[in-house]
Chain A
Amino acid sequence: MSRRDRFRGAVDRLSAVGDRVAAVSRLYTAVGSLRSWLEGHALAVLGIGTAAVLAVMLYLPVGVVFVNAGFEDGVPTFTHVADVLTDPFYFGFLADIFAEPFAIGSHLASLVGWVGAISISLSLEYPLSDLGIPLPVPWLGLETPGLRQGLFGFTAYQAGLSTIASVALGLPAAYVLANYEFRGRRTLRSLTILPFVLPGIMVAVGFYAMFGQAGTLNSLLGAVGLGPFAFVETSPLAIVILAHAFYNAPLVARITVAAWESVDRRAVETARSLGASERRAFRDVVVPQLAPAVLTGALLTFIFTFMTFPIVLALGGLQLATVEVWIYDRIQRLDYAEAATLAVLETILSLGLTYAYLRYESAQTGFSQAASPPPKEALFPDLQTALSPRRLAIVGYGLVTLVVFVGPLASLVVGSVTDGGGFTLDHYAFLLERQLEGESFQTLPLPAIRNSLLFAVATLAIAVPMGVVVSVLTARAGRLGTVVDTLAMVPLAVSGIVFGIGLLQGLVFGISLPGGWRFQVTGAVAIVVAHAVAAYPFVTRNVSPLLSGLDPAMVESARALGASRYRALLDVELPLVASGIVAGAAFAFAISIGEFSSTVILASGGESYTMPVAVERYLGRRSGPAIAMGTILLVVTAASFVVVDRVGGRFER
């Protein structure tokens, strides 16, 4: 090529570049004007987007459930609801009252009859005589005649027991965390958030691995010549309640510790200076400040365990059916009308409870770190103190928490590589074999993992902007903000199952639109949306307190310096709430990975199953494969939580 040709080539290239530059600059101007328009209206656009997603993906499905329960062939009817309300199978003895609400006389008569049948006896018993200790103990015997609870009654009953267990297990933890200093205290305190993001189905399998016939506990007891005991088979309710405590005791502890640490030590010291003993000061100053927190924790626990699903499904099955499990069963039998009716009644109950909770919560002042929090003493300063009754009790409690909290997770991992007594990789080999040779209709491990991760990333992409937008709008809206907040928090009160059938009946089956169009959302999209709707309240819950805690003068300073409202949001507010956004994102990710209730409904018959669904499907006669799959789920959940936290951590200061 001659020099001249090369020169011409260079000129051509240059002019081509020039054209491109011109095109880019035209584009840039266009983008610029679009950008300035967007800057001015960004929040409005995002707000409308969020409202649209909520309307179509949350309110519409829930509305569909209500319509299905309340309408028959387009005619409003009360028969479905009445059928359920007056069926003793569902409402036990209350069904009679619902059936004839005005027959007060006969209800009172049966109440009197029931009370009359209660027998109280007092006797001396020798409970320890088996051990050769003839110690008489006054024994108060209380016998109540059988009371038919019905499905709802049983659900509330187990929720009540679970609440008591959670508070009983959570309060000592709160006491230790708030009053003693020891290595790992802060870590332990942050770990109390962990159970919340662990997939329910995985925890259930963990409890299986711990308390099952061939479980860790029996192995340990067998080593000292006891057992084996059939814990799960003989008392499934106890195991279910323990699993609920696994979830909720840390919640109770967390809320109570926060309240405890916000107690101003000077208030206690003032009480002491006025003549109150240490015990009296605790009762008069500390307890009244803890009580609301404990009650908050108990109320939340009750709401959560009332709507429990995967744990009961996996550990109790239909013999322990709660409302959720029964609804799931009705859906499996394609009895949608009854499922919807039950779902509506459950939702009304849980909405009522949630409303009570929100009212109660808003009446409390926020728990802020006190100016001078109570002092913490060393847990085990020396041997002598370590042997005091109080310290020994703490050690005993520590052992219990090991069994309840560490046991199931450790058993899960251990159980996945052992069989009876020896080390084995059979369970993983089964999964690998299934992956390699399984039929397409079977549940394969790899697609489950891939789906879980994909859905989680997609959930993140939807839930984080939604959550942040709701936070910003709530913070801006002033008094209207409470309304926005309440409407946006509805997902917390609607169980996954109810939401699942709503999506199934509304969006998956499709809704006819005028003009022959059909609005239909199926498979993966429906699942992602369900996850996003379930997850975004956690983003909001993490971001809102930070946002409302910001000094308004900060934004005003930025605006006085020339920043538009939008720029102030971008430059000042969002960077300062970044830690909340990251925490919310981690939650959203983990919730998506662990979500079971609506996924199991939406994934049935399709290929969009996720890891928790796979765990449930493997949970057959041999628990090994399910335990192995559960371990993989544990690893993926933990890893993703760490990754999101690390990646996000860079944005924190």
Chain B
Amino acid sequence: MTELRLEGVSKRYGTDDDETVALAGVDLTVRDGEFFTLVGPSGCGKTTTLRTIAGFETPTEGTVAFDGEAMTAVPPEDRDIGIVFQSYALFPHMSVAENVGYGLEFRDPPDGRSVDDRVAELLELVDLSGMGERAPDQLSGGQQQRVALARALAPAPDLLLLDEPLSALDAQLRESLRLQLKRIQSTLDITTVYVTHDQEEALAISDRLAVMSAGTVEQVGPPQEIYHEPATRFVAEFVGDNTVFDGRVSETTADGARVAVGDATFDLPALPPGTETVSFCLRPGTLTRDADRNRVTVAVDTCEFLGERVRVHGRWNGTAIVLGLESMPPETVTVGFAPEDVHVLETS
């Protein structure tokens, strides 16, 4: 039962002259029992954030608190956390059971159970019953991953931290383990922080997620909100496919605005009064061939056949366009969009 709170966490490396900023004022609240994901491109600070929560990094400024209790000065071994790394970091000189039982040398098993019972229980939880005597290198990658998870969960930690635990696995295994991970997490109802660079994975698995870029949090919210209402241009471009237009308001009416993008003019929904320029985005599905408003003719660059639909990368007026069509287009394709499908990113 733990709520995690980060306030103004900054992390800088190096000297004053040659300083690298890894985190610049991160504020986050992870609710009790929540599956919370940090997602962003490599170098965005998501792993540093996780390591700061674990206590392997000391923030230059700011505080980390578990249930309101400041943790900043507490060493990792006293934080009551479980962590799973991308490399799993199983102890190769110990058997699977010894790996899972290692944390129970320092923390008593929950509910007064014996160590052996707890280890067996955890192995069962991750579908590895009877594998306890194996050596880690006798297991497949997916099995090793589950041992690492069992090991992290054995002492019943307050907080589960997962650092790209699935990215060393192949796509199919990754998806099945993702489901299993989510199932175990919701069964145990344990507060979980998950780090990944894969936005699709982040959307699929999380209760809420934080999109990070260059050491700052761009947006926090549930997956639907992140997907449909990106708060910044970065989020729009990083999460899912989006076409972003930059335009200049040419005319405002009571129920909408007319915006000039290049030499075309689009109908948009109403904008705040006094808006001069606007950036807005459109999901691939909203740009359709049969829409009768806001039509543009896109020069097709590449097509990717994805089964249900075809993802088309094209270009119009120097703007990169992403479309989701039902069939392969010819060299050019004319599409349009309805004003109500537009999501406005920023105005000035």
Pair A562/B85 contact, Cβ less than 8 Å: no
A-side contacts of B79, CB under 8 Å? 560
Q: Is the CB of A560 within 8 A of B91?
A: no
CB of B155 within 8 Å of the partner chain: yes
A556 near B54 (CB under 8 angstroms)?
yes
Q: A572 near B: Cβ within 8 Å? A: yes
A556-B56, A556-B83, A571-B102 known; A561 vs B151 contact (CB < 8 Å): yes
Is A385 an interface position by the 8 A CB rule? Answer: no
23 chain-A/chain-B pairs, Cβ below 8 angstroms:
A553-B86, A553-B87, A553-B89, A554-B89, A557-B85, A557-B91, A557-B151, A559-B56, A559-B77, A560-B54, A560-B76, A560-B77, A560-B79, A560-B81, A561-B82, A561-B151, A562-B103, A562-B105, A562-B107, A563-B105, A564-B75, A571-B91, A571-B102
Instruction: Give the contacts of B79-136 with A (CB-CB under 8 A).
Output: 79, 81-83, 85-89, 91-93, 102-103, 105-107, 135
A551 and B85 alpha carbons, distance in the complex (Å): 10
- A653 within 8 Å of B by Cβ? yes
- In the complex, A653→B135 CA distance in Å? 10
What is the 8 Å Cβ interface bit string for chain A, positions 530-565, against chain B (1 contact, 0 not)? 000000000000000000000101101111111111
Chain B residues whose CB sits within 8 angstroms of the CB of A653 once the complex forms: 92-93, 135
The 7 closest A-B pairs by CB, nearest first: A562-B106, A561-B103, A553-B89, A553-B85, A560-B83, A559-B76, A554-B89
Contact present for B83 and A562 (CB under 8 Å): no
Q: Confirm or deny: B152 has a beta carbon within 8 angstroms of a beta carbon on chain A.
A: yes
Q: A553–B86 Cα gap in the complex (Å)?
A: 9
Q: Report yes or no: B89 in contact with A561, Cβ–Cβ below 8 A.
A: no
For this complex, into which size category does the number of interface residues on chain B fall?
A: 20 to 34
State whether A575 touches B93 (Cβ < 8 A): yes
Kindly state the separation between the CA atoms of A557 and B144 in the bound complex, as whole angstroms: 14
Check A556–B76 contact: CB distance below 8 A: yes
The answer to whether A563 and B106 touch across the interface, beta carbons within 8 angstroms, is yes
Nearest chain-A residue to B102 (Cβ)?
A561
Q: How many residues of A contact B (CB 8 A)?
A: 20
- Identity of the chain A residue whose Cβ is nearest the Cβ of B79 in the assembled complex: A560
B interface residues (Cβ-Cβ under 8 A, vs A): 54, 56, 75-79, 81-83, 85-89, 91-93, 102-103, 105-107, 135, 148, 151-152, 155, 161
Q: State A578–B91 Cα separation when bound (angstroms).
A: 14
Does A558 contact B75, Cβ atoms closer than 8 Å? no
Which residues in A have their C-beta under 8 angstroms from that of B93?
A: 575-576, 578, 653
Q: Are B91 and A554 in contact (CB under 8 A)?
A: yes
Residues from chain B with Cβ under 8 Å of A559 in the complex = 56, 75-77
- With known contacts A556-B54, A560-B83, A562-B107, A572–B91 Cβ distance under 8 A: yes
Q: Which of A561, A575, A576 has the most CB of B within 10 A?
A: A561
Complex: chain A residue closest to B159, CB-CB: A560
Task: Tell me the A residues contacting B by CB distance below 8 Å.
Answer: 551, 553-554, 556-565, 567, 571-572, 575-576, 578, 653
Report the bound CA distance from A185 to B137 in whole Å.
27
Q: A79: shortest Cβ distance to chain B, in Å?
A: 47
* Nearest-Cβ distance from residue B2 to partner chain A, whole angstroms: 15
Enumerate chain A residues within 8 angstroms of B83, measured Cβ to Cβ: 556-557, 560
For B152, what are the chain A residues with a Cβ–Cβ distance below 8 Å? 557, 560-561
Known: A578-B93, A653-B135. 6 other contacts (CB 8 A): A558-B102, A560-B152, A561-B77, A561-B106, A561-B155, A575-B93
Beta-carbon nearest neighbor of A578 in chain B? B93
Output the least CB separation between A27 and chain B (Å). 24
Closest to B76 in A: A559
Complexed CA–CA distance, A554 and B84 (Å): 10
Interface centre among B54, B76, B78, B103 (most CB of A within 10 A): B76
Q: Chain A contacts of B78 at CB under 8 A?
A: 562
Q: How long is the Cα–Cα vector from A564 to B105 in the complex, in angstroms?
A: 11
Indicate if the CB atoms of B89 and A557 lie closer than 8 Å.
yes
User: Which residue of chain B has its CB nearest to the CB of A653?
Assistant: B93
Which residues from A are CB-within-8-Å of B92?
576, 653
Q: For the complex, what is the distance from the CA of A563 to the CA of B76, rounded to whole Å?
A: 9
Contact assessment for B91 and A562 in the assembled complex, using a CB-CB cutoff below 8 Å: no
Q: Which residues of B contact A556 (CB under 8 A)?
A: 54, 56, 76, 83, 85, 89
Bound CA–CA A320/B161 (angstroms): 69
Closest to B51 in A: A556
Complex contacts, B86 vs chain A, CB 8 Å? 553
- Chain B residues near A565: list those with CB within 8 A: 75, 77
A567 to B107, CA, bound (A): 14
Question: Are A551's CB and B105's CB within 8 A?
Answer: no
Q: Which has the most chain B C-beta neighbours within 10 Å: A553, A557, A560, A571?
A: A560
Q: How far is the CB of B249 from chain A (nearest CB, A)?
A: 52
Query: In the assembly, what is the distance between CA of A590 and CA of B106, in Å?
Result: 40
